Amino acid sequence: MISTAIRVARVGSAAELAAAVLMLAGFPAIMVAALIPSVPAFAAATAVTYLADHYLHRQGSYLINRLSKVRAGLSIRFLIRQLLLILLLARLDLSNNLIFYGATACFIAFYGLQAPHGALVTLIRNRRRLPVATRNVDLASRIRIPDAPPLGLLNRSAEKMLHLDLAAVVGILVAAAMDAALPGFIGIGVTIVLGSLYVLALMPYVRGKKVPPNADKVLAKVDEWLRDYQPETVLYFSGSKDSVYQVNMWLETMEQLDSRPLIILRERVILQNLAPTTVPVICVPGGVHLMNMDLSTVRVALYAANVGKNIHLLRVPTMKHVFIGHGDSDKLASVNPFSKAYDEVWVAGRAGRDRYAIADVGVRDEDIVEVGRPQLAPIQNGQGVPEGPRGGAADGSCPTVLYAPTWEGWDGNPGNTSLMLAGENIVKKLLKADPPVRVLYKPHPFTGTVLPKAGAAHQKVTALIEKAAAERATDPRFQADATVSAAAKAELARIEARLAVLVGSGGEKGDEAEATRDGVVDVAKYEEIARLRGEWNDAYWRAFPVWEHRVVTGAEPRLYDCFNVSDAMVSDISSVVSDFIASGKPYAVTDSAELGVEEFKRQNTAVRAATILSNKATELGELLDAVRDPAADLLAEDRVELKQYLLGPDEPTSIEQFNTAVANLAIKAEARNVGQESRAAASAAEAEATTKA
């Protein structure tokens, strides 16, 4: 019942739900206390609403946003409390008392301070919001960007300002209880003085040297930097916060380019969630600003997603445009008809080329280039078990099976993910496997964002795995090496402490303008962080027993790290399957739409070397047999052939293929530009000759 209430109220936890109930019930309680009248009851109910309101704000509750939409926003809630306090004083027969007039004047004056406070906060934020935001672009030497105001002044400023009424409210309640006006006027004075000081503290940041340069000057300096840097290859990306992984997966590839790279983002939220990189990054929210930006040296533009804002760069004829996508799978997104808008489409292997040919969406075969998947370099190549059978806990081993289902997709089609129809069956059979296996569960980060049913299935699977993990911990067949585990946990803590120092040593930037000014990466620190993250991953997997079931969510450990510690995988039709094939290990894919094995394989190239599961998952035994004994792995040779078909050859390496493709396309772009210049010069000469004649 509580979980249903949490889902209906759109809150994140039982504590958040309780706070919401207390806040919403508190206001009627305040009114009743004022009408009775009862000062203690009024004070108690008021305190509850203050605390609950504050807690919901700290949690970023969805309910707070909804209250604002129905005209019950923050300011209204504070005003209601204050009006009810005036009512309490009247019901206490204090309407002719000085404290009544003082309270009324205080709240009118206090709300009079809200207007200049809100105006100043808005003005400061607007003036400090630059037309572009950058990382690894040295603007500090070109323009003056002053320090941001202290974080305490602008962060949740409206909430802080309104809470200054606490002094007046407490003072007035004490005055009403004691029948003495002095405490009330002390509280009133404190509220008015603090409110005035807050307004005065903001005023210096709207004038003089504390204001950043205007938009035109900033854009001019960005163009000046571009002319000096002369970028040659651009990775362009636009999307929502949840899609940031689509650009993050290309950062390492961009760092390894032979040409000068640049990343262009369109949304500030993407920049805020972008993973660390040494590549220069420019975030340009305004389409006009982007179209006026000097990108004359760029010859190749790479696009990781098909979105409407791509048109703002696609319109530039001096560069060649390439769709590189954000994964390789048999989903319809991999053959989007919009792809014909690009000069070329780069795919991992022959399968991608054939996929477009079969789809017949207007992408010409000569415009498709096979470049492999550079992101797959961290995946270790292995064939499950290198030698000998693995029997399970009895002989001290425990194979690991990764369950990595995809999400429900924007259309919510039940065939998109195995989680809703087969998830429980898959996990239950893996948990009951004999000989036993270890289960790792890593769901797609979008799981449950479209269908609540998918979110509920995820919760059930999580509960099953956590329960099984707790039971296994008490099973005498599974005994961890406590010494090794303790040492790994100590190492993990040491690495995390060092990472916290490195990541946080620069301090949080006051705002976007300050982050732009100081956003040039320290390469030495960046390299140390990268090394430590690798050490962290190694220590993480050693920090718990090899038989312990795990639910793995969040950015770390990464999906590929889960690949490397697994002996097999169960997944759905998505790029996860194509990526896992790079490991050469056994895998299974669920036919959630129940197409049948042959039709499922015909429609989906990546499953041709997979164990195909029905929604009942009765076929899981075939996968587990292949994991435990290489002799029973009947699909090993098929996986080798499929790997080359999907992902291309191992040599030359994918990054070498990618760099070659970039260089070849840059030559084509340059040839086109030279040809245009030659034709323009010839036309000008002809026009001049005609004029003279």
309-322 pLDDT, tens digit per residue, is 999 999 999 999 99
Confidence of residue 690 (pLDDT cuts 50, 70, 90): confident
Q: Are 331 and 260 in contact (CB under 8 A)?
A: no
Q: Classify residue 590 by its DSSP letter.
A: E
Q: Are 626 and 611 in contact (CB under 8 A)?
A: yes
Q: What is the rounded CA–CA span in Å between residue 238 and residue 198?
A: 38
Q: Are 426 and 617 in contact (CB under 8 A)?
A: yes
Residue 395: its pLDDT value, please? 46
Q: What is the rounded CA–CA span in Å between residue 339 and residue 144?
A: 42
**Mean pLDDT of the region 220-229:** 95
Residue 313: its pLDDT value, please? 96
Most confidently modeled range among 238-242, 473-477, 669-673:
669-673
Distances (CA, A) of 588 to 280, 398, 607: 40, 19, 8
pTM beyond 0.85, yes or no: no
Contacts 24+ apart (CB under 8 A), 670-675: 670/299, 672/317, 672/318, 672/320, 673/318
Q: Are 583 and 340 in contact (CB under 8 A)?
A: no
Kindly state the tokens that stand for 569.
């995988």
Helix (H, G, I), strand (E, B) or coil at 544: coil
Pairing of strands 133-135, 281-283: antiparallel
Cβ neighbours around 428 below 10 Å, total: 14
Would the pLDDT of 466 be above 80? yes
Query: Residues of the chain with pLDDT > 70: what percent?
Result: 93
Q: Are 140 and 3 in contact (CB under 8 A)?
A: no
Give residue-wise pLDDT tens across range 608-628: 999 999 999 999 999 999 999
Q: φ and ψ at 611, to 5 degrees?
A: -80, 125
Lowest average pLDDT, out of 158-172, 238-252, 268-282, 319-333, goes to 319-333
Q: What is the rounded CA–CA span in Å between residue 647 and residue 77?
A: 58
Specify the residue for token string 């319809």: 332
Give residue-wise pLDDT tens across range 581-601: 999 999 999 999 899 999 999
Which amino acid is located at 653 in the chain? T
Would the pLDDT of 389 be above 70? no
Kindly state the tokens that stand for 217.
């000057």
Q: Is the dihedral of CA 675, 681, 684, 685 positive or negative?
A: negative
Q: What is the rounded CA–CA span in Å between residue 247 and residue 262?
A: 13
Q: What is the rounded CA–CA span in Å between residue 31 and residue 80?
A: 9
Helix axes 74-91, 166-178, angle to 10 degrees: 10
Would the pLDDT of 388 be above 50? no
Residue 148: its pLDDT value, please? 87
pLDDT, mean over the chain: 89
Confidence of residue 485 (pLDDT cuts 50, 70, 90): confident
Cβ-count burial of 660 within 10 angstroms (0-12 exposed, 13-18 middle, 19+ buried)?
middle
Q: φ and ψ at 13, to 5 degrees?
A: -160, 170
Q: Which helix (H) or strand (E) holds 448?
A: none
**Mean pLDDT of the region 387-410:** 71
**Mean pLDDT of the region 458-471:** 94
Give residue-wise pLDDT tens across range 626-642: 999 999 999 999 999 99
Q: Are 633 and 609 in contact (CB under 8 A)?
A: no
Helix (H, G, I), strand (E, B) or coil at 311: helix
Q: φ and ψ at 551, to 5 degrees?
A: -100, 120
CA angle 658, 662, 665 (to 5 degrees): 135
Q: Check residues 238 and 20 and name the one with the higher pLDDT.
A: 238
Residue 499: its pLDDT value, please? 87
Would the pLDDT of 394 be above 50? no
Q: Is the dihedral of CA 231, 232, 238, 244 positive or negative?
A: negative
**Mean pLDDT of the region 154-158:** 89
- Residue 8 CA from chain centroid, whole number: 24
Helix residue ranges, H only, 595-653: 597-603, 620-628, 636-647
**E strand segments, 281-417:** 281-283, 300-303, 320-323, 344-347, 368-370, 400-404
Q: Are 324 and 569 in contact (CB under 8 A)?
A: no
**Mean pLDDT of the region 320-345:** 85
Peptide bond into 285 cis (omega under 30): no
